Structure 1
Amino acid sequence: MTEVPAKARVVIIGGGISGCSVAYHLAKLGWTDIVLLERKQLTSGTTWHAAGLIGQLRASQNMTRLAKYSADLYAKLEEETGLATGFRQCGSITVALTEERREEIFRQAALARAFGVDVNELSPSEVSARYPHLNIEDVVAGVHLPLDGQADPGNIALALAKGARMRGAKIIEQVKVTKVTTKEGRVTGVDWEANGEKGHIAADHVVNCGGMWGRDLAAQNDVTLPLHACEHFYIVTENIPDLAQLPVLRVPDECAYYKEDAGKILLGAFEPKAKPWGMEGISEDFCFDQLPEDFDHFEPILEKAVSRMPMLAEAGIHTFFNGPESFTPDDRYYLGEAPNLRGYWIAAGYNSIGIVSSGGAGMALAQWMNDAEPPFDLWEVDIRRAQPFQKNRRYLKERVSETLGLLYADHFPYRQMATARGVRRSPLHEHLKAQGAVFGEVAGWERANWFANDGQEREYRYSWKRQNWFDNQRAEHMAMRQGVGLLDMTSFGKIRVEGRDAAAFLQRLCANNVDVPAGRIVYTQMLNGRGGIECDLTVTRLSETAYFLVVPGATLQRDLVWLRSHVADEWVTITDVTSAEVVLPVMGPQSRELMQKISPNDFSNEAHSFGTAREIEIGMGLARAHRVTYVGELGWELYVSSDQAAHVFETILEAGADVGLKLCGLHAMDSCRIEKAYRHFGHDITDEDHVLEAGLGFAVKTAKGDFIGRDAVLRKRQAGLTRRMVQFRLTDPEPLLFHNEPILRDGKIVSYLTSGNYGHALGGAVGLGYVPCRPDETGAEMLASRYTIDVAGRIYEAEASLAPMYDPKSERVKG
């Protein structure tokens, strides 16, 4: 055994491809004193039995950027290290057996073009020409990515390990980390044992690359790492004579993928209902191990495969393989620093795409550790999106039985998880359910997405066209535009910031001026040093020493980390109070009339102007009424203590009968906000998007004094914008927009939509997206161009606007 050092700058736990990649990339950045500890042998957990598919196109630009980086890296590793990686760019083909799947893969092809990925749409005969062994009688279409490929996962990991060693990293096998040690909220190192010996390595950073062991390791330090192992199956045929090299083939409608390798075919499956594994923990001795065969479980996949590729009927089975891999509740892996423990980093939970992900993920995490900020927007895979409850093992077991299969399921817009539901509910959940609510889930919260009519089925019928709730959304949308609607937004994250220095602290973090009188509400962003948006929120001053912050439910953990990590020597307390209050937005031109029916307070502009909050009476209870809106209409958000929520809801509902009150869901709120061009964090604005280019300069007050990001704002004002957020409306009322559709300016792809929905008041699909521009280009010059949007390969004319198309002067909001 190599001698274990007593001190290191970083200890990486786990010698799969993820850990080796992190070590390699930290070493490339010039880090010394890197130690990687593997409890058994390198690659012995999951890496050794991975299928090794290298697909470059992912669901977003930055995930695609990371996958493309992996492919480029693996192509160069052999030359750098002398170890063969087996990487070859044989291309990949995905085929569709239904019109809905064709729409999906053609939308993906359009996205690939926007991301600069080489792609070709294929007819059934063109699919057959590239994959002659395929039965195409029910194939509708295909998509070909010529630069995709396959590789040998174990050899890639070993090559990364060698590259790390060549730059001075120590990689030590047969050493198990038993504990990550900490002091005062920061890691101090690891305890280890090997062959009866025990020891300690002092370290500033620890990286958990423990794969399916990672969750339990993290739990020792109360770090939430929600993942769970599932059984993953494939077979390898006997040698097939005269089998030429073939592209990787995916037939998602049959849950199957095919890889030709050395004259054999590997057939793998992502079956709809998976088999979770390791509920009682994973054996200490597990190393290069297989799980018991379950041919009955795999047989439905194999039957379809033999029909799809008749030559398999003649080929014998050389290997029937079943091995465990880790899956997460949302099919996205985890990167970043643990929210509650400084210096504890994570790269784990790869959902069977670890080989194509690990090269880029290792690079991104190394940059993040080196620079103390991510190299670009990584919110999709950020560990801070994990909710504390998600480490619950029963929850994980139920959820991952679904998420494995979702990798190849139709990725319909608005698709809702079916398993592990109902964990977080508003106090009004049963009231809403009784009124016809159909729920979706975000961050564990059950939220009313739409309301079914009497006699209408209360479930989704998914499609890329208009879904079964489209008319319900229109009715709810128009109720808020023309009458009055009521929503339940209890899932908003709510944070109290209190103390002697609360005002000074928030002034330093917020771009807008929050040193305002008590009762004022300020819309603001918190920026990073590049002027990118870290948090998007409203700040309400409650008193001289107390503020109330409202953030999206999905970003609550992220926003708490940002606040707490920036406390210097201020006297300030930061408290999550999300579950203490229900939030009931009353929205629409008749909202004032309704408020006057349920409360004796004065709701005139003079008594309660836009951007103010105050306590009011409702029925026999009390609420805090915030005059703000996320739908672009006159309205109030009512913050009600959870114990009084049912009474207040019943009071509003009873009085609302006289003014045509309609219960509204999140789908209608989203379509209203997109009509008004309100930004959504995670889609339209991220830590990579400059606040001025996002069109939010009105919420930035550089004159107030110093704040994080102020210098970046001043520099951008001086240099000019290189892109601007633009709103689009399709002139054809039929097609739908969701997000990621390519934007064409004068016939050339320049960008893609960050979000989209149907604008029922505007009479067509509406989207938001950034358009590149010259720093000296005027808005009029930008809008003089012809804009079109690519929807699954069809090009549609679009109107473009820099101002909101709906109520551009916000006269309705302030009415």
Structure 2
Amino acid sequence: MAKLPSQARAVIIGGGIIGCSTAYHLAGLGWKDIVLIERNTLTSGSTWHAAGLVGQLRTSANITQLLKYSVELYDKLEQETGLATGWKMNGGLRLACNAERMTEIRRQATTAHSFGLEMELLSPQEALKLWPLMDVSDLVGAAFLPTDGQANPADIAQSLAKGARNRGVTIVEETRVIGIKTEKGRATGVVTDKGEIACEVVVNCAGQWARQVGALAGVSVPLQAVQHQYIVTEALGAPKNLPTLRDPDRLIYFKEEVGGLVMGGYEHNPVPWLPQGDMGDLPENFAFQLLENDLEHFEPLLEQALARVPALASTGIKQIINGPESFTPDGNFILGEAPELENFFVGAGFNAFGIASGGGAGRALAEWVAGGEPPMDLWAVDIRRFGALHRDRRWVLTRTLEAYAHHYSMAWPYEELTTGRPLRVSPLYERLKAQGAVFGSKLGWERPNWFAPQGVEPWDVYTYERQNWFDHVGAEHKACREKVALFDQTSFAKFLLLGQDAEAALSWICSNDVAKQPGSLVYTQMLNARGGIECDLTVTRRADDAYYIVTGTGFATHDFHWIRSHIPEGLDARLVDVSGAFGALALMGPRAREVLQAVAQGDLSNQAFPFGTAQEIMVSGAPVFALRVTYVGELGWELHIPMDSLGTVYEALMQAGKSHGIVNAGYRAIESLRLEKFYRAWSSDISPDHSPLEAGMAWAVKLKKNTPFLGREALVAQAAKKLPKLLACFTVDDQSVVLLGRETIFRNGKQVGWLSSGGYGYTLGTNIGIGYVRDRENGVTPEEVASGSYELEIACKRYPAKVSLQPLYDPKMERVKA
């Protein structure tokens, strides 16, 4: 066994597939003195008993690319290391037993095409030819991904470990980490039961134990171990090239193994692994062990398997596996640098697709460690998508079990999870609920999605067609365009940057010019070194030494961490989260000024209170910080109000607005309104993979000023040549179409990208999508984008589309700017 060194550049904790892959890839990037520590022996946690199906398609393009890389790596790993991996590219089959599931599969196939994966739609008889053991009498159809496959998880991990050793990694087994050393907010080493190691970077790949390892460093890793059962049958004549099979309507999956089948599933009533009682830690000595079989709990899945594969009725069961695996509250894994502690990284919580993710996730995490920032947009799995509520282990347990139960459920558009709610609420919550508010949840906050009129049931009815709220959101949209609407946006994240060097700090972090007079409001991005957009927010100068920063609800942890960690060393600038101190109401519409003027002191005319400025005004005895800004394309103000006065100000506005037709409105109306104005949304239309130039937002960048800022060099280089992609707006007039995002864009018959956002524009009466037109080899120009003939593939069918590089809604009336 390798001896524990006293120093290392990086220490990786955990010898499962993720830890081994991260070590392999980090060494491949040229890093020396890497130590991987395993408390028992390699693969002893959950890797050894994983089922080993390798599917690639996810709803995120980049996560799909990571899984595609896993397949590419597994294809060549045995040749590189000499160790067998059990990898075979036998394809993956997915079944549909009803029309709605078939619609989901058609949309998944379009997503696959968008992301560069081959996915074929099959009839029941075509599926039977690929999988002759099954009964297809209830099938509507199926889909086949020929590049999916399966592997032996332990063998893959051991092969990666050998590759890591060959690249100079030291692997120390039977060594337990009992502490994390820190200094001035940074991880500086690990304490083990065999001694201490000083290091620059700590990487937590401890699987189900990652939460406990994170806790040693004060880092929250929100995951929960859940029991997962599957069986291995005796041989029943299954051919070796039998594809993996997922039958989500029956909640089950299959793969071939030595002429027999592995069969498991994702039940709707999962059982957590809580060995120490309700909230106890997992035992440290649990290695190469399984849990007691629970046949009664597994029986419903077995009945579904017998219906699908009748031959199972006369086939013996060789083994029953009940092995705990780690799952997360949203079903996505956890990757990245912890916001609580610099140089402490996490790769954990893989929701039973750790083998499929292992190669790509390990590479991405290694590149993140080496480069200091994510190598691509990894927001879907970024640890900073979580917040303070995820430190509540009971909440994480409850929500994770719901996410597990949804593993094979229909992936309905706009679906909201329901457990652990309500948690964080605006002071207006009960008031709005009584007025028909139907809430969604974002980072624990309850936010009105839409309002059900009197006599309409206040809840969502899910479908792939127009949903039950469609017309009611349209009414809110119309009121905002023609009269006035009030949106409760209290959940916004709000920060103060304070200190004599606040301007210097933000001038470096922001790509737009924030060196303005107090009272100035600036819409800006914050970029990474590649010129990609890391944050999209507004910055308002309150004083010479104070800025007020407002960003989206879900980005609170991410944006706070990004700003704080990029303040240049030595500057006097302190970031404070004041989200809980202020509520926020957005008063929007052509009559917004008349409503606000009726209850506010001071002159609200365009001359006295122009767009892009902020003032403190008095409304019903409350000091209100009013921002002239809009995300819906109408005259309006964001009103930031002390939380204890929010109800008073709300009632005053609603009373003053009665004669002007004021309505409550929700986030789904905001979405339709912003699509008509071609306003971008971070994490979909703009992200770390997209620059302001590519997104058509060069106007929001201070390139003409001789002012250094993070990402400037990348933008200067990009501006000197044709761009690899340009963001455009698309419309499809066919009213039977529902755009959701990820639909494939065709220009002149050639695939050129996919939609990042999709929805409906009620003012224009058409479907609207936003997406990038791409040509990485030759680049694209605005003229080329505008001149093409376009189609969108939606659920595997193409529809004519029109393109625009300008906002679709731009009324001639001056009221939009007034």
The CA deviation at 1:181 is: 0.8
Stretch deviating more after TM superposition (292-301 or 140-149): 292-301
The CA deviation at 1:756 is: 0.8
Distance 1:83 1:743 in 2: 42
Residue 725 of structure 2 corresponds to residue 723 of structure 1: yes
Residue of structure 2 in register with 1:756 after alignment: 758
Unmatched segments (≥5 aa) in structure 1: none
Q: Percent identity?
A: 48
Residue aligned with 1:424, SS: coil
Distance 1:506 1:32 in 2: 36
Residue 228 of structure 2 corresponds to residue 232 of structure 1: yes
Residue 665 of structure 2 corresponds to residue 664 of structure 1: yes
Residue 740 of structure 2 corresponds to residue 744 of structure 1: no
- What CA deviation, in whole Å up to 9, does each residue of 1:35-75 have, x standing for no partner? 11111111111101101111121212111110010011111
CA RMSD of aligned residues (A): 1.5
Q: Does the Cα contact within 8 Å between 2:764 and 2:809 map onto a contact in 1? A: yes
Distance 1:720 1:778 in 2: 7
The CA deviation at 1:812 is: 4.0
Residue 314 of structure 2 corresponds to residue 302 of structure 1: no
- What CA deviation, in whole Å up to 9, does each residue of 1:141-194 have, x standing for no partner? 11100111000000000000011011111111110010111111111111111x
| Correspondence for 1:277 among 273, 279, 291 | 273
The CA deviation at 1:656 is: 2.2
Partner amino acid, structure 2, of 1:475: A
Residue aligned with 1:584, SS: strand
Distance 1:143 1:344 in 2: 41
Distance 2:138 2:460 in 1: 26
Distance 2:375 2:397 in 1: 33
Residue 705 of structure 2 corresponds to residue 709 of structure 1: no
Residue aligned with 2:19, SS: helix
Q: Does the Cα contact within 8 Å between 1:274 and 1:400 map onto a contact in 2? A: no
| Correspondence for 1:805 among 802, 805, 808 | 808
Partner amino acid, structure 2, of 1:51: A
Partner amino acid, structure 2, of 1:737: L
Partner amino acid, structure 2, of 1:406: H
Partner amino acid, structure 2, of 1:586: L
Q: Does the Cα contact within 8 Å between 2:270 and 2:401 map onto a contact in 1? A: yes
Residue 679 of structure 2 corresponds to residue 692 of structure 1: no
Distance 2:680 2:75 in 1: 39
The CA deviation at 1:274 is: 1.3
The CA deviation at 1:220 is: 2.1
Residue of structure 1 in register with 2:346 after alignment: 346
Distance 1:413 1:683 in 2: 15
Q: Does the Cα contact within 8 Å between 1:629 and 1:813 map onto a contact in 2? A: no
Distance 1:405 1:141 in 2: 24
Residue aligned with 1:762, SS: coil
Written as runs of structure 1 = structure 2, the 5 A alignment for 1:200-279 is: 200-241=196-237, 243=239, 245-278=241-274, 279=279
Partner amino acid, structure 2, of 1:542: R
Q: Does the Cα contact within 8 Å between 2:14 and 2:204 map onto a contact in 1? A: yes
Partner amino acid, structure 2, of 1:787: Y
Partner amino acid, structure 2, of 1:710: R
Distance 2:504 2:298 in 1: 61
- What CA deviation, in whole Å up to 9, does each residue of 1:775-807 have, x standing for no partner? 786533322211111110111111100001111
Q: Does the Cα contact within 8 Å between 1:734 and 1:764 map onto a contact in 2? A: no
Structure 1 residues 296, 689: CA separation in 2 closer, same or farther (over 3 Å shift)? Answer: same
Structure 1 residues 70, 583: CA separation in 2 closer, same or farther (over 3 Å shift)? Answer: same
Residue of structure 2 in register with 1:506 after alignment: 506
Stretch deviating more after TM superposition (660-669 or 805-814): 805-814
Q: Does the Cα contact within 8 Å between 2:634 and 2:815 map onto a contact in 1? A: yes
Residue aligned with 2:199, SS: strand
- What CA deviation, in whole Å up to 9, does each residue of 1:102-157 have, x standing for no partner? 11111111121122212211112211221122222221111100111000000000
Distance 1:87 1:138 in 2: 31
Written as runs of structure 1 = structure 2, the 5 A alignment for 1:418-437 is: 418-437=418-437
Residue aligned with 2:488, SS: coil
Q: Does the Cα contact within 8 Å between 2:496 and 2:578 map onto a contact in 1? A: yes
Written as runs of structure 1 = structure 2, the 5 A alignment for 1:534-545 is: 534-545=534-545
The CA deviation at 1:639 is: 0.5
TM-score, length of structure 1 as denominator length = 0.98
Q: Does the Cα contact within 8 Å between 2:622 and 2:642 map onto a contact in 1? A: no
Partner amino acid, structure 1, of 2:83: L
Residue of structure 2 in register with 1:408 after alignment: 408
Residue aligned with 1:702, SS: coil
Residue aligned with 2:720, SS: helix
Partner amino acid, structure 2, of 1:283: P
Structure 1 residues 163, 777: CA separation in 2 closer, same or farther (over 3 Å shift)? Answer: closer
Residue of structure 1 in register with 2:735 after alignment: 733
Residue of structure 2 in register with 1:516 after alignment: 516
The CA deviation at 1:206 is: 0.7
Partner amino acid, structure 2, of 1:408: Y
Residue of structure 2 in register with 1:583 after alignment: 584
Q: Does the Cα contact within 8 Å between 1:77 and 1:159 map onto a contact in 2? A: yes
Residue of structure 2 in register with 1:468 after alignment: 468
Distance 1:670 1:66 in 2: 30
The CA deviation at 1:762 is: 1.4
The CA deviation at 1:518 is: 1.2
Distance 1:336 1:108 in 2: 27
The CA deviation at 1:725 is: 0.6
Partner amino acid, structure 1, of 2:139: V
Residue aligned with 1:640, SS: strand
Residue 379 of structure 2 corresponds to residue 379 of structure 1: yes
Distance 2:30 2:511 in 1: 35
- What CA deviation, in whole Å up to 9, does each residue of 1:186-243 have, x standing for no partner? 11111111xxxx3101111111001111112111221111111111111122221465
Residue aligned with 1:366, SS: helix
Residue 641 of structure 2 corresponds to residue 640 of structure 1: yes
Q: Does the Cα contact within 8 Å between 1:235 and 1:318 map onto a contact in 2? A: yes
Residue aligned with 1:487, SS: strand
Distance 1:308 1:734 in 2: 34
Distance 2:447 2:610 in 1: 29
Q: Does the Cα contact within 8 Å between 2:615 and 2:626 map onto a contact in 1? A: yes
TM-score, length of structure 2 as denominator length = 0.97
- What CA deviation, in whole Å up to 9, does each residue of 1:246-302 have, x standing for no partner? 111111111111111111111111112211112422122211111122222111111
Residue aligned with 1:513, SS: coil
Residue aligned with 1:538, SS: strand
Distance 2:753 2:238 in 1: 45
Distance 1:807 1:39 in 2: 62
Residue of structure 2 in register with 1:168 after alignment: 168
Partner amino acid, structure 2, of 1:145: L
Structure 1 residues 129, 622: CA separation in 2 closer, same or farther (over 3 Å shift)? Answer: same
Residue aligned with 1:127, SS: helix
Written as runs of structure 1 = structure 2, the 5 A alignment for 1:6-405 is: 6-193=6-193, 198-241=194-237, 243=239, 245-278=241-274, 279-405=279-405
Partner amino acid, structure 2, of 1:741: E
The CA deviation at 1:415 is: 0.8
Structure 1 residues 70, 669: CA separation in 2 closer, same or farther (over 3 Å shift)? Answer: same
Residue aligned with 2:422, SS: coil
Distance 2:38 2:577 in 1: 38
Residue aligned with 1:806, SS: coil
Query: Which 4+ residue blocks in structure 1 deviate beyond 3 angstroms?
Result: 241-245, 773-778, 808-812
Q: Does the Cα contact within 8 Å between 1:632 and 1:810 map onto a contact in 2? A: no
Residue 789 of structure 2 corresponds to residue 796 of structure 1: no
Structure 1 residues 309, 641: CA separation in 2 closer, same or farther (over 3 Å shift)? Answer: same
The CA deviation at 1:655 is: 2.2
Q: Does the Cα contact within 8 Å between 1:231 and 1:322 map onto a contact in 2? A: yes
